[in-house]
Structure 1
Amino acid sequence: FSRRSCSIKRQDWLHKLKACMVGVTSKRHFRTFQRTKLLVEIRSTNKLEQKVLEDTSKRPILEGIIQKSIEALKSIADVSVSLQSLMQRLTVRRMSLMKRMPLLPKRRSALGPAIHETIRLSSFIRSNRFALPSHLT
């Protein structure tokens, strides 16, 4: 009996398989198969719809972020250009100021003694001629 039931089950399974391939199935099988197929399609459609809604809700945010980053990049470029021009202007200004600035005085020894020092020094040399070396007199 068990062998027979196994063979019947196997034949029934083969029959259902062949019927599915041909497209002729029992009403019950067709309903369950069609229902599961429809449920799978509905789930996938719902997921796609939800994804589209999420994408469209994110789109303005993403567009805003992209727009802000583009504006920031433009402003950075403008700032770098303006900084370069500012540095050039400052360099030109510094050079012109340096050209107008009077020269630094040379060392005191190169200039020679000042007027008040000359008088004192000459009087000192006259009064103490014997104490100084010969090259200073």
Structure 2
Amino acid sequence: PDENTAVSLTGGCDGRTLVSCALYYKKKIQAYSFGKKNTSDTTIAGELAKGAGINFTEIDLNKEYISAHSLNNGLEFVINSNGTGGFARAHYLYAAKLLQSNFNYLITGNFGSEIFRAVHNIGAVISTNLHHLLNF
């Protein structure tokens, strides 16, 4: 998009690829990541953003998040995905809700590793059953 966009940056391949592409195409972005404060989930992403010269938002998944937001966001995520999304993704919805007041677009690397990974490797999207179907 041509307006300021939030881009997930975790330090993994997906986030780094998205941020690199956005910078290459001179897009207006701000990076974000979530996790427990002062852990590699957020500190690596923060250092990458700093090195790239872009703003960074750290979403702290602390005790307050767990007690006040995790359950409701988890249930909402499962319901809105018609059961295809797991409760473990509650923090994705939580992050989107926090960021929506400042951004019209949120780009994540969800499932990027599944696209880049060879089909013969089982993961979050390539299930054991799908693997068996593809190798008939």
TM range, smaller chain:
under 0.3
Q: Which has the higher contact order (CA 8 A, sep 6+)?
A: 2
**By percentage of residues, which structure has more strand?**
2
**By percentage of residues, which structure has more helix?**
1
Q: TM-score, normalised by structure 1?
A: 0.19
